A and B are shown apart, each in its own frame.
Chain A
Amino acid sequence: MESITQERPATPAPVRSEPAPDSSPALIPKTGGRRKWFTHWSIERRVLAGFGLVFAGIVVISAISYRNTSVLIENSRLDTKSNELVQLLGSVGEALGGAESGHRRYLVTGDESYLRSYRTVVEQMPEYLRYLRGLTSEEAEQQARVATLEQLIARQLGAEAEAIAQRELHGYEAVRHLALSGAAKNELEGINRLMTELDSAEQRALHARVVQSAGSTRNTIALLGLGALLQLVLLASVYFLIHHDVTERRRVATELQSRGELLQAANKELEAFSYSVSHDLRAPLRHIDGYAALLSKAAGEALNDKARRYLQTISDSAKQMGQLIDDLIVFSRMGRQDMLRTTVNLDQLVKTVLHDLRLDLQGRTISWTMHPLPNVSGDPAMLRQVFLNLISNALKFTATRPETKIEIGALRRNPGEAEVFVRDNGVGFDMQYVHKLFGVFQRLHRNDEFEGTGIGLANVRRIIHRHGGKTWAEGAPDQGATFYFSLPLARSLR
């Protein structure tokens, strides 16, 4: 027994340390609510939330990276186009320049060979222009320039063609003034100006795109870096959560195991104790009663009434203590005995209890009111003890009444549960002592009023608690008492 009492102080220690997390919201009132809400979440929800955030982060970062990469690809396509355009512009300028100088040489010399390059340019020009239109199809401004350029080129080539025709028909003199300055001097200037505009506009676009691409690449890199960091932080916190939880669980499991072992040891000791009580405590009582009886017999007539009463008191006390020990052993057994779980027919059970009590019922006028009772789930022997104690109590505390009324019934106010009551019209009790009714050795009546050891109702409570039920009572002095207990219904009735 000593080891049990020594172990006890260790038990409240972890309980005392528990309120610590609860006090923190009070210190930080602003975030307290959110904190409470978060700590209220189960570990599964927290881990899920963490992984959810990581997943959402990955989706957002992927989307932004995808967009940035698409911009880069698009820019590089446009860059290719721009470069081609710049090159094409150079070729067009060169070709037009060649055609112009060729036609002028012809105008001066009349040598047909100078017209070869001019004719090549005239032949190639529609192709060049189509290509040009294609390359500028996405830029309205550049397109407008290309359209004007086409007109100017057409006019230049037209003017040159006209000059060549004049030379063929009327000879050098007719085109002399043209031969010096060229047939399409104005157009050529316009063409050159436009070509420069086209070129510089394309260069500007190229530059802008280079800036944009560089920016977007920088953004993507920064975002990926930040995202990776965030994911790391989130994953680390999820890991921490899980790790914390697992460690905690492991700790609790170890503690549970060690407590279970302690409990088992304590139970073993208790069993040995109760065995010893049942065996050894009885013997001296038997001797007290036995020798008192032998003394009374041996002294016989020599004893006066007073001495005889003393001897009687000695043996009455011994008997009472014997009863007390018996009741305590039953009480202790009800606490540690393995419990059965079967369907119990309470109607049948009450009948057998009344049969067992038939000797106590003799010579009593009792009006019974028996309501049908449901089948419950429980240990038949233990529940028999409950009814035995409650009905014996009812009989005991109605003994002074001319007519005893006992009512047994059940209420079904909560699903899956039956509330059984035993009501009597006995001496009742004051509700201010109701909390003492179910305690061990608690009695509300003097022993010379009603006999008893004060264990019966404690036993009832212990059995009902082991069944997962509750016990309570109602009463008033001289108005009778009602004892209630709840039990889980049999599975078929749920």
Chain B
Amino acid sequence: MTTVKPIVLAEDNPRDAELALAAMEEHHIADKVVVCHDGAEVLDYLYCRGVFASRQQGNPVVVFLDLKMPKVDGLEVLKTIKNDVNLKPIPVVMLTSSREERDLAQSYALGANAYVVKPVEFHQFITAVKELGVFWGVINEPPPEGSDLIDSLITKDL
């Protein structure tokens, strides 16, 4: 079970995606990465529909979200995830070029777990992506999959 939990990377720019994959390659976690090219694709993946209809069930270990994406943007995806009882436990990391305070504030208000500004410098970028991948994909203990425990906790909370 522990080896196959995927990392979702939502990135509309193929070069950024390639660079991110190159960075994760160095730590041999690239094979776990599912690249989505817009927000709609991320939602398709999470809800197992469209091209992802036949994928193995289960939530990803982490979702990396770009802010500016075609069709459905990062903030909308974030909102959908955090408003869905089943998706809510998934850690969401905003990975974006924007340093604007407004984006930061909105992301955290919607329940983002982390906010990372992509550095211009490649080495810094590699380090950042690598560390993020390692932390969320390897070090961080993900929430128990599909257990009734979370549901009961959440309903209790409500």
Residues of chain A within 8 A (CB-CB) of B123 are: 293
Q: Mark A329-351, 1 if CB is under 8 A from B, else 0.
A: 10000000000000000000000
Residues of chain A within 8 A (CB-CB) of B97 are: 278-280, 282-283, 286
Minimum C-beta distance from A437 to chain B (A): 27
Residues of chain B within 8 A (CB-CB) of A322 are: 120-121
Is the Cβ of A286 less than 8 Å from the Cβ of B98? no
Is the Cβ of B22 less than 8 Å from the Cβ of A287? no
- Nearest CB to that of A292 among chain B residues? B122
Residues of chain A within 8 A (CB-CB) of B122 are: 286, 289-290, 292-294, 315
Interface residues of A in 309-342 (CB under 8 A from B): 315, 318-319, 321-322, 326, 329
Q: Does B106 reach chain A (CB closer than 8 Å)? A: no
Is the Cβ of A286 less than 8 Å from the Cβ of B118? yes
Cα-based distance from A282 to B121 in the complex (angstroms): 10
Q: Mark B120-146, 1 if CB is under 8 A from A, else 0.
A: 111101100000000000000000000
Residues of chain B within 8 A (CB-CB) of A285 are: 120
Q: Does A275 reach chain B (CB closer than 8 Å)? A: yes
* Size of the chain B interface, CB-CB below 8 angstroms: 20
Is the Cβ of A289 less than 8 Å from the Cβ of B121? yes
Cα-based distance from A457 to B140 in the complex (angstroms): 44
Minimum C-beta distance from B83 to chain A (A): 25
Q: Does B44 reach chain A (CB closer than 8 Å)? A: no
Provided the pairs A292-B122, A322-B120, A322-B121 are in contact, do residues A286 and B19 lie with their beta carbons within 8 angstroms? yes
Is the Cβ of A279 less than 8 Å from the Cβ of B98? yes
- A280, A287, A319: the one within 8 Å of B15 (CB): A287
Residues of chain B within 8 A (CB-CB) of A315 are: 121-122
Cα-based distance from A275 to B104 in the complex (angstroms): 13
Q: Mark B94-105, 1 if CB is under 8 A from A, else 0.
A: 001111100000
Q: Does B16 reach chain A (CB closer than 8 Å)? A: yes
- B16, B22, B100, B126: the one within 8 Å of A283 (CB): B16
Residues of chain A within 8 A (CB-CB) of B80 are: none
- Nearest CB to that of B22 among chain A residues? A294
Cα-based distance from A283 to B68 in the complex (angstroms): 12
- A: contact size bracket: 20 to 34
Provided the pairs A289-B122, A322-B121 are in contact, do residues A278 and B99 lie with their beta carbons within 8 angstroms? yes
Q: Mark A209-226, 1 if CB is under 8 A from B, else 0.
A: 000000000000000000
Residues of chain B within 8 A (CB-CB) of A290 are: 15, 19, 22, 122, 125
Provided the pairs A283-B13, A283-B16, A294-B22 are in contact, do residues A289 and B120 lie with their beta carbons within 8 angstroms? yes
Cα-based distance from A289 to B15 in the complex (angstroms): 12
- Nearest CB to that of B118 among chain A residues? A286
Residues of chain A within 8 A (CB-CB) of B120 are: 282, 285-286, 289, 318-319, 321-322
Is the Cβ of A287 less than 8 Å from the Cβ of B96? no
Cα-based distance from A290 to B21 in the complex (angstroms): 12
- Nearest CB to that of A337 among chain B residues? B101
Is the Cβ of A275 less than 8 Å from the Cβ of B100? yes
Cα-based distance from A329 to B122 in the complex (angstroms): 21
- A279, A289, A318, A329: the one within 8 Å of B96 (CB): A279
- Nearest CB to that of B26 among chain A residues? A297
Residues of chain B within 8 A (CB-CB) of A286 are: 16, 19, 97, 118-120, 122, 125
Cα-based distance from A319 to B125 in the complex (angstroms): 12
- Some 5 contacts from A to B, beta carbons below 8 A apart, are A290-B122, A293-B126, A294-B122, A322-B121, A326-B99
A residues with CB within 8 A of B: 275, 278-280, 282-283, 285-287, 289-294, 315, 318-319, 321-322, 326, 329
Pairs of residues from A and B, 6 with the lowest C-beta to C-beta distance, nearest first: A322-B120, A293-B122, A290-B122, A290-B19, A282-B97, A289-B122
Beyond the given A278-B97, A289-B122, A321-B120, please list 17 additional residue pairs across the A-B interface where CB-CB is below 8 A. Answer: A279-B67, A280-B68, A283-B16, A285-B120, A286-B118, A286-B125, A289-B120, A289-B125, A290-B15, A293-B122, A293-B123, A294-B19, A315-B121, A315-B122, A318-B120, A322-B120, A329-B99
